[in-house]
A and B are shown apart, each in its own frame.
Chain A
Amino acid sequence: MLKLNKRDTLLFVIVTAMVLLAPFLLNPFPQGSSMAQMFNAGYPDLMQRFVIFGILVIGFNILFGLTGYLSFGHAAFLGIGSYAAVWMFKLLSMNIIPALILSMIVAGIFSLVIGYVSLRRSGIYFSILTLAFAQMSYNLAYSVLGNPSSSYNLTNGETGLQLALNDPRILDGAAAANGALPVTKLFGLAMRDSYNLNVGGWLFTFNVGYYVAGILMLISFYISIRIFRSPFGMMLRAVKSNQQRMNYTGLNTKPYTLAAFVISGMYAGLAGGLLSSMDPLAGAERMHWTASGEIVIMAILGGVGTLIGPIVGAGFNEYFKNILSKINDGVLHQWLSFLPDGLENFIVGILHYFVGKGWHLTLGLLFMMVIIFLPGGLVEGGQRLAKMFKRKKTDDGSDSNNTPAE
């Protein structure tokens, strides 16, 4: 099916099922219980982030996973895509299709220019060049092009680019008369519309924006599988293993790496455009170097060079970021109220540093544990588990056909 081999088809079907059933999978606890308040992740904003950052890291993985070129400035393309999309909402139409197309084109052009210069070097020098370009874009967006009192205010600086009632919106015609801002939509479907399903104590939210982003992620994922399995992908892997040898055999590798760079830049642009489609505000922080670092962390967390890794890594990172930062002392006291008072206060006092504003610390520790014990990322953890169960079942220990799931 779909010109995929059996393993890839299975992988694709699993991912598809996970994306479609996410509202159920992410809300395991009934509404109103204290567990639900903290651990349920099935609300539209977070689900959208899962798949959007999934797209971003899938694209990043095409560059980093296949060619080994570590771009430290990928957040720049995310930000550029976001700005392009918001401008499209302001000028043309609230329909997300032109916005997404423009954000991919603009991000593609930027990555072509930045890639053309940066790919003249490899290794650490390439990383530094991309980092420099990203910081340059960040500063342009934050300050130079973002001053409302100047005539070239493209980004609105720290406040972020937002919609306004008096934007032209050529295709949409006159703004709604009731003075409300228009919402982003796909033809008649508003991105923020949701259908709530109440089953017993459970509340499942099916959000339009999530499914639009989810379907785009599945398409991106499929294209990424095809690239991994194509001769082009093979060429990129060859670049990773020994670029010099390839050059000596007379092959010019530059077009291949540049193509990979532009493709992954367009993936980032699409992700940025989607972020703006779900919430029409683009801020410069999206382009900051820490955001670029986060992309690298997501890729490594999940497993570099594997197909499913990026999605897992992005989901893991976003989940902990959103969940841990919302736990406060009050919640901790509520959980531990069964303990004697002194002990309760003591434990809350310690945990205090790991939740709420301390979520970076916890995420950092988790990241270190993954790197130390599972150098191949979470995917390696999954493979080890699978192997363990397989051995128990068949008890023959041979894994001749057990090539790493990519």
Chain B
Amino acid sequence: MSTSNLTRRGLIKNSAIAGAGFAAPTIFTASSAAAYTNEPTGGSVTLGFNVPQSGPYADEGADELRAYELAVEHLNGGGDGGMMNTFSSKELTGNGILGKKVEFVTGDTQTKSDAARASAKSMIEKDGAVMITGGSSSGVAIAVQGLCQEAGVIFMAGLTHSNDTTGKDKKANGFRHFFNGYMSAAALAPVLQSLYGSDRNAYHLTADYTWGWTQEESIAAATEAMGWNTVNKVRTPLASTDFSSYIAPVLNSGADVLVLNHYGGNMVNSLTNAVQFGLRDKIVNGKNFEIVVPLYSRLMAKGAGANVKGIHGSTNWHWSLQDEGSKAFVKSFGTKYGFPPSQAAHTVYCQTMLYADAAQRAGTFNPCGIVEALEGYEFDGLGNGKTLYRADDHQCFKDVLVVRGKENPTSEFDLLEVVEVTPTSQVIYEADHPMFAGGALGACNPGA
């Protein structure tokens, strides 16, 4: 087979075209007349909602999508306005953002970084989205955040709890309202100490990706600081659905606390397996065996049913909160969909409102203007009390809730009860904390 001839020809052809390409850059620069990527020119502005509609976090994704639709309705002046009425900033008036009607496109991240980036890319390149938001997995959120930074659009992170999102993988164009692993651990540790004492042996089962790793690191550090001993840390693949093979070794490990660094469908399955194996009825080292779920949500409690009773964890927000913002949000979400929102729904609703408000205050959709408007921004009335968007890492700081699975639920939604509201001062950390070190925000990128 003689292919030498063809390669030479191919090479010549290739280099001719490449040569023509070298002359082209002047055209490319000339064509980019817009000031920033996807500058909205008509009477509407497009937002991209990129959520998992399949995979272990599909329940959270579905609830996020509901909240996004509600937020768009409120921004365009429909419904009862929800948290727009309680938000401390009064810039939003219900006629869209900067007078432009809000439209949206949706996509399925499949809880996979690759698919999520493809979906976000098509929103940016095809649909002209000026902001991307969503993601119920930190791996996905970090991947999409990187893409948005490169493409020059804003990324408003949805449900992502890994320290890395605003730690070593932080980006100037990305913002997170949700809390993180470190804050969960800081809020949870004192409660665990008062409940279970300071002489315990913990066994960690951890979802094998960025969120699991940082959650495990945070909670292990916090519990070891109060005297607990870490027996073992076992990683489980994110896509697992059966955890029996991981639970069985726990029985013989001598541990008396099981920490499930799992979320969504993972946690529902692993907790169910653990209860089936009779872990909760065991007495080890003369103490009752306990299970801890650092990151909790109502959707998970619903999935795991009666198994969650008496199990402690932390959460970003819960619908039973009695402040004005939470009440307004639960009311308008409940009116539209017939059930209360989850913490995932809450955080993405807030993110959409915060973005819209920032654009309104900045007077532009230019990512650099938005970044400036959000950095160091203090607000109130979105359900978590006084909240700060820290300029150093684009992370929100607010109170953290420690919750427990209710023993006697009064309805199918009343599954968790708030044990303690840990104030911001107790969960805040320095921007250069070792668990968050190693990354750089860089500069805001307006693209184009």
Which residues of A pack against B, CB within 8 Å?
A: 2-3, 37, 40, 43-46, 49, 142-143, 147-149, 157-160, 162-166, 178-181, 183, 186-189, 192-196, 205, 208, 211, 215, 219, 222-223, 226-227, 230-232, 279, 281, 283, 285-286, 322, 325-326, 328, 330, 356-357, 359
Contacts and interface: CB of A to CB of B under 8 A. Distances in A.
Contacts of B235: 143, 147
B225 interface: no
Interface stretch (B110-118, B309-317, B337-345): B110-118
21 contacts: A46-B126, A143-B235, A159-B139, A159-B164, A160-B114, A164-B439, A165-B440, A180-B445, A181-B150, A188-B22, A189-B24, A192-B150, A215-B13, A223-B6, A281-B143, A281-B146, A283-B112, A283-B143, A285-B113, A325-B108, A357-B108
Given A180-B445, A226-B1, A281-B117, 16 more contacts: A2-B6, A44-B125, A46-B122, A149-B217, A160-B139, A160-B143, A162-B143, A178-B443, A180-B443, A186-B18, A188-B22, A195-B27, A205-B125, A281-B113, A283-B113, A285-B115
Given A158-B209, A231-B1, A219 B10 contact: yes
Contacts of A195: 24, 27-28, 31
Contacts of A3: 5-6
B100 interface: no
Contact of A158 (B25, B113, B126): B113
B127 A160 contact: no
Contacts, number: 157
Q: For chain B, which range describes its interface: under 10, 10 to 19, 20 to 34, or 35 or more residues?
A: 35 or more
B442 A189 contact: no
A402 to B, nearest CB: 28
Counting from the closest, the 10 A-B pairs by CB-CB distance are A158-B209, A179-B442, A357-B53, A43-B126, A45-B121, A179-B443, A43-B125, A230-B1, A158-B139, A159-B139
Contacts of B14: 215, 219
A contact face: mostly helix, strand, loop, or mixed: mixed
B246 to A, nearest CB: 13
Nearest to A318: B118
A328 to B, nearest CB: 5
B146 A158 contact: no
Interface of chain B, main secondary structure: helix
Contacts of A43: 122, 125-126
Interface of B: 1, 3, 5-6, 9-10, 13-14, 17-18, 21-22, 24-25, 27-28, 31, 53-54, 58, 105-108, 112-115, 117-119, 121-122, 125-127, 138-139, 142-143, 146-147, 149-150, 164, 169, 172, 208-210, 213, 217, 235, 237-238, 439-443, 445
Contacts of B25: 188-189, 193
Contacts of A281: 113-114, 117, 143, 146-147
A75 to B, nearest CB: 11
A186 B17 CA distance: 12
Contacts of A227: 1
A18 to B, nearest CB: 16
A142 B114 CA distance: 13
Contact of B106 (A187, A211, A326): A326
B107 A326 contact: yes
Contacts of A148: 210, 213
B10 A158 contact: no
A38 to B, nearest CB: 10
Nearest to A223: B3
A22 B13 CA distance: 19
A187 B17 CA distance: 13
Given A195-B27, A230-B1, A208 B21 contact: yes
A205 B150 CA distance: 19
Nearest to A139: B237
B213 A149 contact: yes
A285 B143 contact: no
A2 B3 CA distance: 10
A404 B14 CA distance: 31
A159 B142 contact: yes
Contact of B213 (A46, A147, A357, A359): A147
B106 A226 contact: no
B143 A232 contact: no
